[in-house]
Amino acid sequence: MATLERTGAGAAATPRGGVVLPALGYAAIWLFLVVFLVYPLLRIFYDAFTDEAGRLTVAHFVAFAGDPYYVRSLGNSILLGLGTVAGTTVLGFAVALLLVRFDFRGRDLFGYLTLIPIISPAAGRRAGLHLHHGPGRTVNVLLEDWFGLARPINFVYGVHGVLLVETLHLFPMITLNVLDALAKIDPSLEEAAESVGARGWTKLRHDHPAADHAGLRRRGLLVFIWTFSDFATPLVLGVQDLLAAQAYLNIVQFVDRRLFRMAS
């Protein structure tokens, strides 16, 4: 009887422990999110909509809209984001079609290598592009030796360099989406499309499942946001007239508090 009582007591104690531990984990997750996500965002909104005295104001937004440099930076960021979406879509589709529609030696290895840009450290990608494509670097030296190039070509410094880096970094997002979509296509659909004269892009567009169009749009939006918010790549490549770069430069300065609020 004592054994049964002890067993019953242990069984009764187990559910309490099974409830407390998940509750503590749940609370820890929420505490982490509040401290490192919710509070910083609320602080940014507070600084953006208040002045030095803590009064509500939209003066920072008015000043932003009236500053030609900031407005141009916003336009450049939007164009850069759209250009990156276009570049990653073209390159991502091309790589995916190459992997799915063609059989060649080393195809599996090539497929694995296409994932390296998105998982490799960002600093390494920027440094590698600078070391190999900058003035006086590998590519320009080879062009000078082989073709007698008189002046080095500017491959990386400028908005076009940022576009190149972002496209090479983010195209695997599109490639993975297209690979998944192509894997879902029934071969009989392709045969039916070819029987009525569909070729190339027309065949692919009609065979592509509708659900994957939504997935592709989501990936494109993610590429746009990633490019729009990246401040490190433009600064490394000497581009400052982009919105994220301006926000970063205004935040890290400690001289004018108004610039910090403008950056927020």
What letter would DSSP give residue 198? -
CA 209, CA 49: separation in Å to the nearest integer? 45
Mean pLDDT of the chain: 79
Q: What is the pLDDT of residues 143-169, one digit of tens each?
A: 777 777 777 777 778 888 889 889 988
d(C-alpha 245, C-alpha 118), whole Å? 21
* Relative orientation angle of helices 122-133 and 159-184, to the nearest 10 degrees: 120
Contacts of 57 (CB under 8 A, 6+ apart): 49, 50, 51
DSSP 251: H
> What are the boundaries of each domain within the chain?
68-257
pLDDT at 205 > cutoff 80: no
Higher pLDDT, 200 or 94: 94
Average pLDDT over residues 200-219: 64
Q: List all residues 6 or more positions away from 260 whose beta carbon is below 8 Å from its beta carbon.
A: 47, 250, 251, 253
Confidence (pTM): 0.76
Greater pLDDT, 196 or 173: 173
Q: Give the CATH class of 68-257.
A: mainly alpha
Check: CB of residue 60 under 8 Å from CB of residue 261. Answer: yes
Q: Quick one: pLDDT band at residue 72, thresholds 50, 70, 90?
A: very high
pLDDT at position 211 is 45
User: Over 90: is that where the pLDDT of 82 sits?
Assistant: yes
**What is the C-alpha separation between 212 and 209, in angstroms, rounded?**
5
* Residue (of 107, 83, 106) closest to 179 by Cα position: 107
